[in-house]
Amino acid sequence: MTDLISYQSGKPDFVKAAAQQVLSKQAFDEAFQEITQWQGYGATPLYSLPSLAKDLELGTLCYKDEGPRFGLASFKALGGAYAALHVLKREIERRMGQSVTLEEIRTGQWAQEVADVTLTSATDGNHGRSLAWGCQMIGAPCRIYIHAQVSEGRAQAMQALGAEVIRIEGDYDASVDQCRREAQRYGWFVVSDTSWPGYNQPPRDVMAGYGVMAREVFDSLTEAPTHIFLQAGVGGLAAAMAASLRQLWGKKSPRIVVVEPDFAPCLFESARAGAMTVFDIKQETIMAGLSCGAPSPLAWEILQNEVSDFLSISDDLIGPAMVQLVRPSGDDPKIEAGESGVAGLAALMSVCQLSDMRQKLGLDHKSRVLLIGSEGVTDPVIYNQIMQDVSN
């Protein structure tokens, strides 16, 4: 099943303040300059899928594959590690009473001081992996809180990067609470991808890091897409893309469609209520990275102004979308993508079959649709299981 709320009446046609002020162009530029210096940086592929576009009766369809991002298999590599550098910069500047650059921290010039600052976060997998990787790169101790449903494969991936992983009972929101409480008690520094009242800077840096994807897309396309489908958990990815694309393309920036699971539609419900709303998660979705009950207020500030439509989709759409990518139509490239990474595609495939939704979203044979494939195979066991289930 696919539900649609059209929140704005079509695409907002001027650059809203939130897309400039919450995340400034300068913040995106700084993140781009820093991240493109990291070892192993390369723009991720932006694939054209002409056969699928034809099948869906669209003009063009592009898929940005975040699978190869820094060898971490998801776009999250851009956020947590970048925000970690900023947290360390601020703390070392405070301790030393002098200004310090991100490059100095990254290249080990403050190694002794960095080793004394513990960074921590809650995660459903991908953000924690990015933070663990960043901490390993910089030499800072890392503690990651995961909830009961996070797969063992994802926990092990973070341990392999040197993080201490703490599994709690309860859901993602409970893991965020526990992480915050323990950090306060022991003097650790939270590097979260979601914000809360009084805690904004690290999630802002996380989102600035995500803006690298928007720059890469902007640099590779000659014409702006008409639509972008963005899967959301707390909304950071969608907000960063929305703000950055609006800054880069202005009035030509695409209509933004946010996609969430039926089991965790906190932004969808916020749009319906006209105010940020917490959703009480009763069941865990297969889209593990999107299982968030509380929006990030910082992200919502942007999304409430920039998003045209919110979609909520059921879990059964995910397997077929993963199969579609790996066994493509015609000569389209073969792409391996994880459960959360294909949510935008799953929603698109679903709405294209529903003429009223297609019409409401303004999708037709001239549409140029962009998808962000936000993860590759982040957990091979789950990936193979889903493939097997769909094939049976």
Ligand X SMILES: Cc1ncc(COP(=O)(O)O)c(C=O)c1O
- Nearest of 22, 187, 180, 182 to residue 94 by alpha carbon: 187
Q: Applying CB under 6 A, does 193 fall inside the site for ligand X?
A: yes
Residues 6+ apart with CB under 8 A from 307: 7, 8, 238, 242, 256, 257, 258, 267, 271
Compare residues 225 and 233 and give the one whose CB is closer to ligand X.
233
CA–CA separation, 1 and 324 (whole Å): 18
Compare residues 4 and 234 and give the one whose CB is closer to ligand X.
234
Length of the chain in terms of residues written = 392
Compare residues 158 and 232 and give the one whose CB is closer to ligand X.
232
The CA radius of gyration of the chain, in Å to the nearest whole number, is: 20
Tell me, residue by residue from 222 to 251, as one string, x for binding to ligand X by CB under 6 A and - for no binding.
---------xxxxxxxx-------------
Compare residues 114 and 298 and give the one whose CB is closer to ligand X.
298
Contact window for ligand X (CB under 6 A) among 36-44, 123-131, 142-150, 326-334? 123-131
Compare residues 100 and 158 and give the one whose CB is closer to ligand X.
158
Instruction: Scan residues 256-315 and list those touching ligand X (CB under 6 A).
Output: 289-290, 292
Rounded to a whole number, what is the distance in angstroms from the first to the last CA of the chain? 21
Residues classed as catalytic: 76, 124
Residue 379 Cβ, how far from ligand X at the closest point, in Å?
11
The partner residues of 131 in beta bridges, in order of sequence, read none
Count Cβ atoms within 10 A of the Cβ of residue 98 and give its class: 0-12 exposed, 13-18 middle, 19 or more buried. exposed
With vertex at residue 253, the alpha carbon angle to CA 317 and CA 216, rounded to the nearest 5 degrees, is: 80
The partner residues of 20 in beta bridges, in order of sequence, read none
Contact window for ligand X (CB under 6 A) among 49-57, 108-116, 122-130, 319-327? 122-130
Q: Applying CB under 6 A, does 374 fall inside the site for ligand X?
A: yes
Compare residues 60 and 374 and give the one whose CB is closer to ligand X.
374
Q: Applying CB under 6 A, does 127 fall inside the site for ligand X?
A: yes
Instruction: Scan residues 156-185 and list those touching ligand X (CB under 6 A).
Output: none
Instruction: Scan residues 1-60 and list those touching ligand X (CB under 6 A).
Output: none
Residue 210 Cβ, how far from ligand X at the closest point, in Å?
7
- Two structure tokens written together for 51: 């056969």
The partner residues of 258 in beta bridges, in order of sequence, read 230, 310
Tell me, residue by residue from 322 to 341, as one string, x for binding to ligand X by CB under 6 A and - for no binding.
------------------xx
Residue 300 Cβ, how far from ligand X at the closest point, in Å?
11
* Per rule CB under 6 A, count of chain residues that contact ligand X: 21
Compare residues 105 and 376 and give the one whose CB is closer to ligand X.
376
Residues of this chain that interact with ligand X (CB under 6 A) are: 74, 76, 124, 126-127, 193, 231-238, 289-290, 292, 340-341, 374-375
